[in-house]
Amino acid sequence: MTATHSARMQEKTPIESFDVVVIGAGPAGSVSSALLRQNGYKVLVLEKEYFPRFSIGESLLPQCMEYLEQANMLDAVKKGTFQYKNGAAFSRGDEYEYFDFREKFSPGWGTTFQVQRDCFDKILADESQKQGVQIRFGHALVACEEIPNARLLTALDEDNQQYQVSAKFVLDASGFGRVLPKMLKLEKDSSLAPRKSIFTHIEDNIVCPQYDRDKILITVHPKLPEVWYWLIPFSNGRCSLGVVAPTEVIDEIGTEPLACLQQLVSEGGRLANILEHAVYDTQVRSLGSYSCDVTSLYGKRYALLGNAGEFLDPIFSSGVTIAMTSASLAAAAVHKELSGQSPDWESEYADALKVGVKTFKEFVEGWYDQRFQQVVFSKQKSEGITKMISSILAGYAWDKENPYVKTPSRLSTLSEICKSA
């Protein structure tokens, strides 16, 4: 947009002023906007879609509960009749192991929920609105300019008409939309290998008495250890089902998404038996090369939250936890900045957030190179170490008292011990 065009728009329409504009009304956007509103700020959220809308990332981690409490949203979530969750189960061939999040090293919540994100995200957005946050659904950001003491944002409304607002600070919680990284050329390739995911919701019709609906089930392909499946049960007899594989594995199957997913599930050993009566009644979606990164998590009067910054991998369901952690950290730093306290964004936000991201990343890499799979399926587990690992899987990847958070590379040593045992 040229300066002349910008000036003309300003002449035609008065520019609204906000303390903070948040891009996206998902978990990171709703939590951060509510936290900022609690401190009295005038907050606007621009959300290009209309809620409820489909989204993946349905298996929350217990660490999320703390942020929902902070944002005064937990009571509303508890009323949502979501599926109770107390751990994660792992299956490979005839092997079956699980981690109970109530038996962990770190203090805090040991249970949470598995949620259908269309309903969950709407509850969070509704709660932020009840607290005084203004959300404009169907509005998309198209430009973000730096002006003296603020950011000038140009948006499109529901009728595709442009208007402008100014903000003292902008938070990008646009998820995979990655609005500011694309607009400000902040994107860079992830260090993680490219993979592809195919997923859907099903009527599960599970009758297997050994199946535990209180846990997410992660299944490893019996012959291809880099291929794994998630099965996330909901409270209404439905499940989220997905498979993650190297891109070439899915491309080699060469069929349309539903047939590809069903073929891979049929090869899943125990999973195939669990889902023998499943009804595939929902569109199968796919997402490729989803891992992403940025050159910086913040800049002058803006910061990136959750997936808008860095997304790792669906394994361990870390996405929403990282998003909510970033929302809490960023809201605190924005509050300091708008109060004239000059926060150190590198140490108080970027470095603080990267503690957990680095921990999860080590475990993601360890999953695909089999170091962590060696730990998961070990038959000789130390109770103390199991609790430390359980804490990380429960989302407490920022607890520096945990040796595997303080030094994530300890996973390699643990894997060797398990292998030799």
Lowest mean per-residue pLDDT among 104-118, 163-177, 208-222, 286-300: 286-300
Instruction: Indicate the fold that domain 3-81+114-189+291-355 takes in CATH.
Output: FAD/NAD(P)-binding domain (3.50.50)
Q: 14 falls in which pLDDT band (50, 70, 90)?
A: confident
Q: Are 342 and 44 in contact (CB under 8 A)?
A: no
pLDDT grade, residue 61 (50/70/90)?
A: very high
**What is the Cα–Cα distance from 189 to 289, expressed in whole angstroms?**
10
pLDDT band at 12; cut points 50, 70, 90:
low
With a cut of 80, say whether residue 354 has pLDDT above it: yes
Q: Does domain 195-288 have CATH number 3.40.50.1980?
A: no
Segment 46-63 mean pLDDT: 96
Contact at 8 Å (CB) between 33 and 128? yes
φ, ψ dihedrals at 200, nearest 5°: -165, 180
3-class SS shares of the chain: helix, strand, coil, % to 5: 40, 25, 35
- Structure tokens, 173: 């919680």
Identify the pLDDT of residue 11: 53
| pLDDT at position 284 | 96
What mean pLDDT comes out for the span 57-81?
97
Compare 337 and 252 and report the one with higher pLDDT: 337
The pTM of this model reads 0.94
Contact between residue 54 and residue 283 where contact means Cβ atoms under 8 Å apart: no
Contact present, 154 and 142 (Cβ < 8 Å): yes
What is the model's pLDDT at position 421? Answer: 76
By mean pLDDT, which of 15-29, 308-322, 388-402 is the weakest? 308-322
> Which are the contacts of 134, defined by CB distance < 8 A and separation ≥ 6?
43, 44, 45
What does the mean pLDDT of the chain come to? 94
pLDDT > 90 in the chain, percent: 89
Q: Confidence band (pLDDT; 50, 70, 90) for 5?
A: very low
DSSP per residue over 59-115, as a string? Answer: B--THHHHHHHHTT-HHHHHTT-PEEE-EEEEEETTEEEEEETTS-SS-S---EEE-
Query: What is the pLDDT at residue 288?
Result: 84
Residue 183 in this model has a pLDDT that exceeds 80? yes
* In the predicted structure, residue 2 carries a pLDDT above the cut 50: no
Query: What is the rounded average pLDDT of the residues 224-233?
Result: 96
Query: Where do the domains of the chain lie?
Result: 3-81+114-189+291-355, 195-288, 370-420
Q: What is the pLDDT of residue 193?
A: 86
